[in-house]
Amino acid sequence: MEVLGHQCQRGSAVIRCVVQTGRRIGCFECCIKCLGGVPYASLVATILCFSGVALFCGCGHVALTGTVSILEQHFSTTASDHALLSEVIQLMQYVIYGIASFFFLYGIILLAEGFYTTSAVKELHGEFKTTACGRCISGMFVFLTYVLGVAWLGVFGFSAVPVFMFYNIWSTCEVIKSLQINMTVPGDQICVDIRQYGIIPWNAVPGKACGPILENICNTNEFYMSYHLFIVACAGAGATVIALLIYMMATTYNYAVLKFKSREDCCTKF
C-alpha cells in the first residue's frame, strides 16, 4: 500500500502516526521517518559556524583592545602617533558586532532552507513538490554562501597577521631569556621595532623595545592575553570557513537534485 502522507496524533498513552490511507505505523517508525528529514550537514555547519563566529568576534574584540593598550604604554607614548590606528581598531570592533549579528541570522536561515530542501528531495511529505521560486532561492543561497566563503578566507588570512606579529615578539623574548642564562650576548642588543609592521608611523616614539624592557612587556597580562586571544580568534575564523564550505556543499547538492527532479523527463530517483 502506497503511503501518501502522515500526521501525528497524541493519545492518552502512546503517539501513533495515522497515515491518510488508514494504515497505522508505530511511533518508532514515525520517528525514524521524521529524523530522515533532518539536514544533518546543515545542522553541523550551523553549530560550527556559530561557534567559529562567536570565538572570532568575542576574542578578536578583546584582543584588539589589549593591543591598543600595549601600543599606548610601550611603543607609542604620543597619542597623535597612533590616533589613526585607534580609529581603525574602533571601527573594526563595530564591524565585529555586525558580523556576529549577520551570521546569527544567516545560519538560522540556511538551517531552515536545509530543512526545506531535504524534505523536498526525500519526498517526506507526500509527492514531490517544488516551485521555480524555491529553486531560485536555493540557487541564491549557493551563490551567497560561495561569496561569503571566499570573503572569510581573506578574514582567516588577515587574522593570522597579528598572531604572526605577537609570535615574533614572544620568540624574541625567549631568545633574550636564553642569552641571559648562557651569558653569551647582552640582551640589550636584541630589539623589536613595531614600526616595521606599519601599524604605527616611523616617527612614533619610542617605537621599539629592547632587552629587559621587551622581556617585561612579554610578561604583562595584556600581552599574554592578547596573544592567546588572537590565536583563538584565528582558529574561530578557520572554523567558520569550514562551516561555510559544508554549507556550500550541502546547498549545492540540494539545489542540483531539486533542479534535476523538476524536469519533466526525470525518471531517476535519488
Q: Quick one: average pLDDT of 3-16?
A: 40
**Helix, strand, or coil (residue 202):** coil
Split at pLDDT 50, 70, 90, the class of 54 is very high
Whole-structure pTM over 0.85, yes or no? no
Q: Quick one: average pLDDT of 122-151?
A: 71
Pairing verdict, β 208-210 and 15-19: unpaired
Domain ranges (residues) in the chain = 1-35, 38-261
Pairing verdict, β 191-193 and 6-10: unpaired
Between CA 109 and CA 25 the distance in angstroms is 32
Is the pLDDT reported for residue 219 higher than 50? yes
**Which of these ranges, 28-32, 63-67, 206-210, has the smallest mean pLDDT?**
28-32
The one-letter amino acid code at 206 reads: P
Q: Quick one: average pLDDT of 137-141?
A: 79
- Predicted confidence at residue 189, as pLDDT, reads 77
Is the pLDDT reported for residue 196 higher than 60? yes
